[in-house]
Structure 1
Amino acid sequence: MLSACAVALRAGARRSIRRLPSKSRAIPVTAATAATAVRGRRLFASSAARPTDLSTRGMIVQTLSSVGSKREVQQYLSLFTSVSSQRFAVIKVGGAILTDYLDELCSSLAFLYTVGLYPVIVHGAGPQLNSLLEQAGVEPQFEEGIRVTDVKTLRVARNLFLQENLNLINKLEEKGVHAQPFTTGIFRADYLNKDKWGYVGKVTGVNKESIETAIQNGYLPILTSMAETEDGQILNVNADVAAAELARALEPLKVVYLSEKGGLFDAAGQKISAINLDEEYDHLMSQAWVKYGTRLKIKEIKELLDTLPRTTSVAIIHPGDLQKELFTDSGAGTLIRRGNKLLSATSVSDFKDLETLKAVLIRDREGPDAMATVDKYLEFLKDTPFKAYYDGPMNALAIVLPRGNGRPQATLATLTITKSGWLTHVADNIFTTLQKEHPQLVWTVKEDDENLGWFFDKADGSITRDGSVMFWYGIEGSDEVMQLMKDFTLHGRAMLGDSNLESRLDRAASNASRSFAGPAAPRAAQQARAYSTLARRPALSAPAFSQTQARRGYVTTTNPNPPYGKKNASKSQPARVALIGARGYTGQELIRLLDSHPNMDLCHVSSRELAGKKLEGYTKRDVVYENLSPEDVRDMEKRGDIDCWVMALPNGVCKPFVDAVYEGRKSSSHKSVIVDLSADYRFDKTWAYGLPELVARADIAQATQIANPGCYATAAQLGISPLVEHLGGMPHIFGVSGYSGAGTKPSPKNDVSLLTGNIIPYSLTGHIHEREVSSQLGANVAFIPHVAVWFRGIHHTISIPLNKTMTSRDIRQIYQDRYAGEKLVKVVGEAPLVKNISGKHGVEIGGFEVDKSGKRVVVCATIDNLLKGAATQCLQNMNLALGYAEYEGIPVM
C-alpha cells in the first residue's frame, strides 16, 4: 500500500473542482472512516504503536498535502465525507485506461479507499473488444456511433467484461483494497432498437441498493456496463451512458470520466480547465472548433448536469491525476459545472430587497457596530458610482468602485461568498466577469491571509506594505505600475479611494480577503482554474520587484564563535547527526559527505529494511542501521542526544517523526535542527526554505527547521531567478533526469530495460516542483519533467519570455553579476552537459540564446540530482544552521 501512496503522489497534475469554506468542519466518524482507521494501522505498521497525534489520518492528510495544501485536503475530505458514501463519486473507466494505466488507476483508488472514500466504478472495454472481434474474424459495426451487437459480439463482450472486471478487482486487492464485482444485476434495460442495433440496451433503472450495501460493508463497487432486461437477457450498454444513468440514480458530488488525454482542449490545443455551463454553453457551442467528440461530450454532460443538483460537477481527467483533481483547488483536468447566472446593479435602488442586501453585507462583520458600519457603507454607495455583481440567491456579492474620485484604477471593495456560493462555484464566475468588464483592477489582502495563492493567481502583480498586499491586473505600463507601487508604499490603502474612503470604507475594502467569507463562511481558495473563455495573463508578483536587491552574503569559514549563536561550532565535539531514511540514493550520498566532514558525526541511521545491518561507507565509527520509531525520536530529542535530524523519507511520511521532535522539545531545553529532504514542508512558512543562493542565509542560519528544496526545483529556480523582473510571460521548463531521481524502489521510471532507447514523462502538468518553483519565484512556470536512461544528473532547457528586447550578452552578464561569488553556481557560455555535472556539487547555467525578436531567451541548467539537488544542499543548510562554514565538507566547483 505504501507503493500505492507513492505512485499516487508522483502522478499529480494541475487543477481541481470547487471553492470551499476555510473554516474546517470535523470529519464525521462513520463505519467507513472507522474501517479506514483499522486499515491505516495495517498500512503504517512499520513503526510500532504511535500516539494519537501521530495518527494514520494525519499522515494521510500530510501525504495528500504534497499535491495541495493541508487546508485544501481537510476541506475536501470534510466535503466528501459530509454525504452518504455512495454519493461521493461515480468514476467511469474506459477500456484503454484498463490496459495502459491500470496501475495508476488502482493506486489512485487505493488512496481514496485508505482515507475512507468509496467511489462507484463503472468500466467499459471498447478497444479490447475491437481487438478480440478482429481476432475472431468479426468486423466491428457501428450505427450513429453505437456498436451493433449481434449474438457473437455479445458473447465475446460478455466474456471480455468478466475478465477485465476480474483483472481490476485483483489489482485492487493487491493494493489492499476490498472490491466487489458487479457484472450483472445493477442496470435494468430495454432494447434500444433491436432491429437496428441488436443486443444494445437503454437503461431504465438502477439497482442502487446493492451498491449501497457493498459500500456499507467496506467494498468498492466495480461495475461493468452490461444491463439486463426484465426477462434476464444480457444487453450491451455504452459505458458513458451507464455512468450517466448511475449518476442520476446516486446524485454524487463528482462524476469523473477518466481520459488518456486528461481533459478537453480548445482550438489552440490548450487544455480547457473549467467550463461554467450557465455562462458559457451557448458561446462554446457556437465556436467552430467545438465539433465532433468535443461537441458531443459537452452536450451530453450538460444534459446530465441539468438533471442533477447544482453541487454536482463533472471532471474529465487522467487516471494518475485523481488526487490532484479531488483534493486541490487548482485541479487537474477539465471541470464542467452548471455555474450560475450573474445579475448586476449600479445603484442601491437596483436591489429589490434592501434588507437582504444589508444581511449580505453584515455577514462579513462582527461587533456591536456592524450594522452601523453597513448603513454608512450604503450611504457612501448612494453617492458613489459602483457596479455590483451577484447571483439570484445572493450567495455571492462583489462591488467594484470605478476609476475616479482619487482612485487611479478600479477597486474591488467587497467580495462576499457564502458556503453555498462556494459549492456552486459562484466565486469563479464572478471573478471571470470582473476580468471581462474591468480591464484594470486593484484590491488589497492581509499579508497573513492563508489564501494568498488564490489572489496571486488572479493578479498580474503585487506589493506588500505594513501587513497588507495590494494586487492588480491589467496594469502593464512600467510607469503606471511603478506609480501604483509608489502610491501604495507612501499612502497604503488610502490611495485606493478619495480622501474619506479610508474612514468610510476601510472595513469593506481592506477586508477583501476575509469578505470572501465572513465569520462562518468560506474564504478564497488557494488557486484558480483558467477558463475556456478567458486567456490568462502572465503572472508577475512581488518577488519580481524585490529580487533586485544585492546578492546575499554567506559564511566562508568556520568561526570558533558562531555568527548566529549556534552552540555546536564552538564545541570541541562534533555535531551529532541522525539520518532517518538512510536506504535511498540521497541518504547514501549524505553519509559519504558526513564521513569526510570535520565537525559532524553520524550517530544514528534509521532504515526499516536494513535494520540490524552494519552501515557501509562510514569510517568514523561503527554504525548499525536501526528502525527508529517516532517514540524513539521523541525520547532522543527529550534527552538532547541529537543536534541535527535529517529526514530522508518519501513525501508524506516524515510528519510523525517531525511531530515527535516537537513533542520532545516540550520537556527539554535542547532544540535540535531538522532538515527535511521531502516535499512535505516546502510550502510551510514556518519552515526556512533551504536554497542559500536565493534565500537569506541568515534566515537559514537562525532556523531550527529547514525544508530542503527539490532537485528539479533548485536548478529551475537558479536558472530563472535572475530574470524574474524581466519576465514577459510564463517560463517553460523542459527537464530530464537520470533514473536515480525515481528512487530505489522498482518502478517503470527506474527500469533500465524500459528506459533504454526511451524517455518517459513523469507528469505532463502539475508536477509538485512546478508549484514549488512558482511559489518561490513568485511567478508561474510550466514544468514538464522526464526521466532518461542515465543514472544521475538533470538537464533543464528553459524558454523564458522577456518583457523587453535584450541580447544574449546582456542576459549572460545579468547571470554573472547575480551569481558572482557563489561557489556552487557556475555560469558558462555554451549549454552545459549532464556528463560534466554528474558527481559534482554545484549547478552549471549557460546557453543564453535569444531568438530573433530579442524577447525570448533559452537558458540551460544542469545539476546532479543527488548532490546539489539533495545531499550537498542539505549539508549547506546543516552547516549554516549548526554554525559551521557553509561549504565545510563540500568540494566546491
Structure 2
Amino acid sequence: MDREGVVPDYIDGIRVTSAKTLGVARRVFMEENLKLVAALEKLGTRARPITSGVFSADYLDKDKYGLVGKITKVDKRPIEASIRAGALPILTSLAETADGQILNVNADIAAGELAKELEPMKIVFLNDKGGMFHGVTGEKLDVINLDEEYDGLMKESWVRYGTKLKLREFKELLDHLPRSSSVAVISASMLQKELFTDSGAGTLIRRGYKLFKNSSIDSIGADRFRQVVHDRDPEVLAGLQSVTGVLSELKNTPYTLYGDEPLDVLAVVSHPEGEIPVMTKLLASRQGMLNNVMDNVFNAIKKDHRKLFWTAQADDENRAWHFERADGSFTRAGKSLFWYGIQDVAEVERTVKDFEAKGRIDRSYLPVGPSAPPHRTAAAAAPSSSRSFSTMARRVPGSSRGYATAASAPTPVSTEIKRLGLIGARGFTGQTLTTLLNGHPYLNLSHVSSRQLAGYPLEGYTKEAMTYVNLSAEDVERMEKQGEVDAWVMALPNGVCKPFVDAVDRGAVERGADKSVVIDLGADYRFEQGWTYGLPELYGREPVRAAKRISNPGCYATSSQLLLAPLVNHIAPGALPTIFGMSGYSGAGTVMEKDATGKPVSVPKVSPASLGTFVRPYALTGHIHEREAGFHLSTLRADRTPVKVAFIPSVAPWFSGIVSTVSVPLKAPMTAREVIALFEERYAGEKLVTIQKNVVVLHDVEGKHGWTVGGFQMSVEGDRVVITGGLDNLLKGAATQCLQNLNLALGYDEYAGIPLA
C-alpha cells in the first residue's frame, strides 16, 4: 500500500476501501494466492486457486466504509469441486455483489462464514504468539470452554480490545456449529503438531458444556449415574466394588454431585456437617481430560470446599494431575491419598484417623508417612502398590508444585534470571526447545544462531522479539569471554559442534569457575571423559548439578536405558536383550528448502508421503544408540561387567513419538509382579516416569514430557520378560531432557518450565 501511495484510513477498526485500495488489494491477493498454490505444488500437494465465486456480499456501509462488504451467502460448490478433484482449495477474502462489484471483506470473518457453511471439526486461526494468553500471568490458555468460561472471561479486566473481539467472534462462530467443532489458535510453525497429534498446540476453544452441582442422583438420572460408574470407576472395573455398592454408600452421608452436562466428568463429594469433605469419586472420560473439563469441575469443587481429601489408584494414568492439585499425598497398598488445604502433618493424621474410624476411607493409611516398598511386602500384594512415598507440598519458585518426602528438605533453588545461547535452532528439536524456553520463568534466550535463517525473526518465542544470527566460533569465544551468556545449547548435527565447544572452552579460561554451562544435544560427547551424561532418573541429579559440560542422551538410548535399568542385574549371562523401536519421522531430522517467498524453511528429511502407511527399518546393526545404551548401563551393574544390547530402529509415518519393545532373557525365573516391583522401586517418586499395566501405544507418549512403561509379559517358563516403553523423541528424548539438565546445572528447580500435568 505504501509503495502505491495509498494512505490507510480506518473507521471503527475497519479499513476504508477506495477503488484504488481495492485494486491494489485485489492484485496482491491474487499474487499471494498463486504463490501459495505454487509452494504447495512444489511440496507435492495439489492445490487450486479460487479467487471468486464463493462469497456473495452487500455493502457494509458504502458511504462510511467504501468498497467493504458484509457476507450474505457462501457458495461451497467450487470448494467441494476442488476437493473432489483431489486439490486443496486456496481462497481469497474478496466477495461480489449481485451486480458483480468486487468488495473487500475481513479475512477472519470470511473464514468464520465459510466454517458455518462447511461445519468442520476444527477451524485453525494462525497468529504470531501461538495462542491466547492470560493478560496478567502471561500463561498460555490451553483450553477455553465457552459455555462455562465465556461470561467470566469477558468480565476480566485484561480481556479488552482485540482479545474481547476475538472471543466474541469465536463464540458467535461456534454457536452456529455442532458441539464437536472447535477453534485452534496457533502459530504457523505449530500447524503440523495441531493437525497430526493428540496433544495439539496453542489454544483450543470449544463450546463445551455448562457445569452442574446437585445433591441427588435423581437430578442427572440414576441410570446415567450407574452407567458412568459401571464404565469408569476403577474399583468397579477391577471387581473390588459393585455399582450397587457405590449407590448404597451414597446414602451414608450428605453428598454433592459435580459434573458437566454430557457427564464427561462426574465427581462425588461427601460432606457430613462439621467434617472435612472427601471426594469419593472423580470419574473422567478421555474427552473430559483432554478438553480441560476435569480442571473446571475440580475448580468448582475448590470454590465450595476450603479443605478436601480424595484417593486415586497408584497406577492411575492421570496421577500426575492429582499431584499437581494436591498440597500433600502419600501412597499405601496401591492407592494414593491426596489432600489440599492442610499443611500440618499432625492435622492430616488426626483427620485420616477420624476418616478410618467412621469408614469414610479405607483402613490402610495410618500411620501417615512412607511404607515399605511393595516387593518387600507379602507376595499377595497387588502389583499396583507401587510408589510408596509420602509428600507434603513445599512451594518453590520455578515449579507449579514443589513436593518432597516429609523426611528431607528440598534442594535450594535459584530464581536468578539467566541467559541462554542456542546454536543450531532450525531443526525440530531446536524449535521444540525454543517453545519450552518461552514458558520458563527464569531462563531467557539471548542469542539464537542458524546459518540458513540468519536475519529472519524467531517464531514461537514471545518473551521478546528475536532474530536469528549466524554466530562463528570466534563470536562464541568472545561472548563467553565477556560473560554474555550463562549457558550454551548445541543443537547441531553429529560431528559439527566441536569447534563451538572448543571456542567456549577458550573463552572460559578468563572466566574461571564462572564459566558457562554447555549442553550438547548431539552424540559427540556421550562417551567423553570430563562430560556428564545427563539422564537424572538413572545416573543421579548431583553430578548434573555440579557439571559444566553435559551430554544430552539420545532419544532411543533414553528409552532403552530406562527399559533395561531395573533389570540390569537380572539379565542372563551372555544373553543379548533385544529392543525394537519405532520413531516418528521427526526423529530423522530436517533439511532446508525455500518456500515460495524465498525464505528457508525446515522440512522433514523423511517425509510422511515417502513412508505411506508403512514403517521403514534402518541401521539394522551398529546404531549409535545401541552402543550408547550398553556403555552407560554397564555403570549400573553391581559387578560392572559390560552390558550389550541389540537394537533395531524403524521410522514410522507419524510426526513424533517413540514406542520400544524389549525382550530380556533372565538369569532366573521371575513373575510379572516381581518385575513390576523392580520398576516401581527404581522409579519411585520420578515425576516424569509413568508405570502402567497396559501396553504402551503412541497416544501414551506423543506430546508428553515423560517416559511411560507398561505391558509387562512373561514367557511361560518365566525366564524371559517382554516390556514396552516410550517417549516423545522431541521432548523427553531431547528438549525436555535438555531443560531438566539446564535447570539442574543452573541451580533451578529441575522441572521449571516443564509442564507436568
Q: TM-score, normalised by structure 2?
A: 0.53
Instruction: Tell me by how many angstroms 1:338 deviates.
Output: 2.2
2:471 to 785, 789, 805: 789
Match for residue 549 of structure 2?
A: 863
Q: Structure 1 residues 741, 401: closer, same or farther in 2, change over 3 A?
A: same
Residue identity matched to 1:339: G
SS at match of 2:514: coil
Question: What stretches of structure 1 of length at least 5 have no aligned partner?
Answer: 1-132, 507-535, 549-722, 767-783, 799-827, 846-858, 889-893
Structure 2: distance between partners of 1:796 and 1:877: 32
Decide whether the 8 Å contact of 2:450 with 2:469 is kept in 1.
no
2:34 to 161, 166, 169: 166
Instruction: Tell me by how many angstroms 1:284 deviates.
Output: 2.2
Instruction: Tell me by how many angstroms 1:246 deviates.
Output: 0.8
Instruction: Tell me by how many angstroms 1:308 deviates.
Output: 1.6
Q: Structure 1 residues 328, 168: closer, same or farther in 2, change over 3 A?
A: same
2:184 to 299, 315, 340: 315
Instruction: Tell me by how many angstroms 1:212 deviates.
Output: 2.5
Decide whether the 8 Å contact of 2:269 with 2:280 is kept in 1.
yes
Show the 5 A alignment for 1:543-692.
Answer: 544-545=404-405
Match for residue 272 of structure 1?
A: 141
Match for residue 639 of structure 1?
A: none
Is 1:833 matched up with 2:585? no
Show the 5 A alignment for 1:64-143.
Answer: 133-143=1-11
1:258 to 104, 108, 126: 126
Q: Structure 1 residues 440, 211: closer, same or farther in 2, change over 3 A?
A: farther
Structure 2: distance between partners of 1:436 and 1:724: 30
What do residues 205-243 of structure 1 show as CA deviations (whole Å, max 9, x unaligned)?
212233233233332222111112233322211101101
Q: Structure 1 residues 450, 161: closer, same or farther in 2, change over 3 A?
A: same
1:291 to 141, 156, 160: 160
Match for residue 737 of structure 1?
A: 422
2:90 to 201, 211, 222: 222
Instruction: Tell me by how many angstroms 1:361 deviates.
Output: 3.2
SS at match of 1:134: coil
Structure 2: distance between partners of 1:448 and 1:372: 18
SS at match of 1:165: helix
Is 1:385 matched up with 2:254? yes
What do residues 543-602 of structure 1 show as CA deviations (whole Å, max 9, x unaligned)?
x33996xxxxxxxxxxxxxxxxxxxxxxxxxxxxxxxxxxxxxxxxxxxxxxxxxxxxxx
Decide whether the 8 Å contact of 1:225 with 1:239 is kept in 2.
yes
What do residues 668-697 of structure 1 show as CA deviations (whole Å, max 9, x unaligned)?
xxxxxxxxxxxxxxxxxxxxxxxxxxxxxx
Decide whether the 8 Å contact of 2:210 with 2:260 is kept in 1.
yes
Decide whether the 8 Å contact of 1:316 with 1:334 is kept in 2.
yes
Residue identity matched to 1:764: Y
Structure 2: distance between partners of 1:364 and 1:211: 42
Match for residue 270 of structure 2?
A: 401
Instruction: Tell me by how many angstroms 1:175 deviates.
Output: 2.3
Structure 2: distance between partners of 1:443 and 1:786: 49
Q: Structure 1 residues 370, 270: closer, same or farther in 2, change over 3 A?
A: closer
Structure 1: distance between partners of 2:398 and 2:179: 30
Decide whether the 8 Å contact of 2:426 with 2:450 is kept in 1.
no
Identity %: 40
Q: Structure 1 residues 286, 867: closer, same or farther in 2, change over 3 A?
A: closer
Instruction: Tell me by how many angstroms 1:332 deviates.
Output: 3.1
Between stretches 153-162 and 394-403, larger displacement belongs to 394-403
Is 1:431 matched up with 2:303? no
Tell me how many residue pairs correspond in the alignment. 479
Structure 1: distance between partners of 2:117 and 2:26: 24
Match for residue 752 of structure 1?
A: 451
Instruction: Tell me by how many angstroms 1:842 deviates.
Output: 4.2
Match for residue 359 of structure 2?
A: 500
Residue identity matched to 1:334: T
Decide whether the 8 Å contact of 1:148 with 1:198 is kept in 2.
yes
What do residues 91-133 of structure 1 show as CA deviations (whole Å, max 9, x unaligned)?
xxxxxxxxxxxxxxxxxxxxxxxxxxxxxxxxxxxxxxxxxx2
Decide whether the 8 Å contact of 2:230 with 2:236 is kept in 1.
no
Match for residue 468 of structure 1?
A: 335
Structure 2: distance between partners of 1:181 and 1:254: 22
1:764 to 437, 461, 469: 461
Structure (1 or 2) with the greater strand fraction:
2
Q: Structure 1 residues 385, 323: closer, same or farther in 2, change over 3 A?
A: farther
Structure 1: distance between partners of 2:197 and 2:160: 30
Residue identity matched to 1:833: S
Instruction: Tell me by how many angstroms 1:275 deviates.
Output: 2.6
Instruction: Tell me by how many angstroms 1:445 deviates.
Output: 3.0
Between stretches 211-220 and 369-378, larger displacement belongs to 369-378
Match for residue 38 of structure 1?
A: none
Decide whether the 8 Å contact of 2:322 with 2:338 is kept in 1.
yes
Instruction: Tell me by how many angstroms 1:141 deviates.
Output: 1.7
Q: Structure 1 residues 329, 465: closer, same or farther in 2, change over 3 A?
A: farther
Residue identity matched to 1:752: R
Match for residue 201 of structure 1?
A: 69
Decide whether the 8 Å contact of 1:447 with 1:464 is kept in 2.
yes
Q: TM-score, normalised by structure 1?
A: 0.45
Is 1:415 matched up with 2:282? yes
Instruction: Tell me by how many angstroms 1:385 deviates.
Output: 2.7
Is 1:187 matched up with 2:55? yes
Q: Structure 1 residues 742, 267: closer, same or farther in 2, change over 3 A?
A: closer
SS at match of 1:135: coil
Instruction: Tell me by how many angstroms 1:297 deviates.
Output: 1.3
Decide whether the 8 Å contact of 1:733 with 1:797 is kept in 2.
yes
Residue identity matched to 2:202: G
Structure 2: distance between partners of 1:379 and 1:744: 53
Q: Structure 1 residues 380, 302: closer, same or farther in 2, change over 3 A?
A: same
Instruction: Tell me by how many angstroms 1:443 deviates.
Output: 3.1
Match for residue 606 of structure 2?
A: none
1:333 to 202, 208, 221: 202
What do residues 180-224 of structure 1 show as CA deviations (whole Å, max 9, x unaligned)?
221112112222222222222211121223323323333222211
Residue identity matched to 1:215: I
Instruction: Tell me by how many angstroms 1:462 deviates.
Output: 4.6
Residue identity matched to 2:461: L
Match for residue 389 of structure 2?
A: none
Instruction: Tell me by how many angstroms 1:279 deviates.
Output: 2.5
Show the 5 A alignment for 1:342-357.
Answer: 342-347=211-216, 351=219, 353-357=221-225
What do residues 680-733 of structure 1 show as CA deviations (whole Å, max 9, x unaligned)?
xxxxxxxxxxxxxxxxxxxxxxxxxxxxxxxxxxxxxxxxxxx955569x9988
Q: Which has the higher contact order (CA 8 A, sep 6+)?
A: 1
Structure 1: distance between partners of 2:163 and 2:223: 45
Instruction: Tell me by how many angstroms 1:754 deviates.
Output: 5.3
Structure 1: distance between partners of 2:185 and 2:519: 43
Instruction: Tell me by how many angstroms 1:428 deviates.
Output: 3.8
Instruction: Tell me by how many angstroms 1:156 deviates.
Output: 0.9
Structure 2: distance between partners of 1:378 and 1:867: 51
Residue identity matched to 2:451: V
Question: What stretches of structure 2 of length at least 5 have no aligned partner?
Answer: 366-396, 432-446, 488-510, 534-544, 558-622, 644-757
SS at match of 1:752: coil
Instruction: Tell me by how many angstroms 1:248 deviates.
Output: 0.6
Instruction: Tell me by how many angstroms 1:498 deviates.
Output: 4.6
Instruction: Tell me by how many angstroms 1:259 deviates.
Output: 0.3
Show the 5 A alignment for 1:490-529.
Answer: 498-501=357-360
Residue identity matched to 1:306: D
Q: Structure 1 residues 224, 749: closer, same or farther in 2, change over 3 A?
A: farther
Decide whether the 8 Å contact of 1:182 with 1:221 is kept in 2.
yes
Decide whether the 8 Å contact of 2:421 with 2:448 is kept in 1.
no
Structure 1: distance between partners of 2:269 and 2:513: 51
